[in-house]
Amino acid sequence: MTRRRILVSLLGLALAAASVAAFVAASAAGSAHAAKATRNLSANASGKLRFSVKTIRAPKGKVTLVMRNPRGSGIPHAVSVKGKGIDKEGRTVDPGGTSRVSATLKKGTYTFYCPVDGHEDGGMKGKLIVS
């Protein structure tokens, strides 16, 4: 083999290795964008129509909200999410229970709320910011 052919072959191998490295890096970045996030909150323990937080932040991808309904709340609650074409409701639970809702979300602002009649209008809602 001539020196030139060896150099061309080595250059080809280096380019192939760089392409594989770029592909692996892009795949890893894509996986980060499809992240899964779980955020915890609770209903107000004294029975007020409020959540323990007013704003939740999460990365885009599958987001799960887990809401604990404390025994002291005295009334059923649930957690749901809506906005940008999404409207998913978690199961309504009695005091002592846990409600969950999951949705695959794009970047943007959504509303998390309690879907029990009158609870959202009474103030049981917050902002979910997905980035």
For residue 118, pLDDT beyond 90: yes
Predicted model pTM = 0.74
> CA-to-CA distance for 111 and 54, rounded, in angstroms?
10
For residue 10, pLDDT beyond 80: no
Predicted local distance difference test score (pLDDT) of residue 9: 61
Percent of the chain scored above 70 by pLDDT? 75
Average pLDDT over residues 92-121: 98
User: Nearest-CA neighbor of 41 among 12, 15, 77, 4?
Assistant: 77
In the Cβ-directed half-sphere of 8, how many Cα atoms lie within 13 Å? 5
pLDDT band at 33 (very low <50, low <70, confident <90, very high): very low
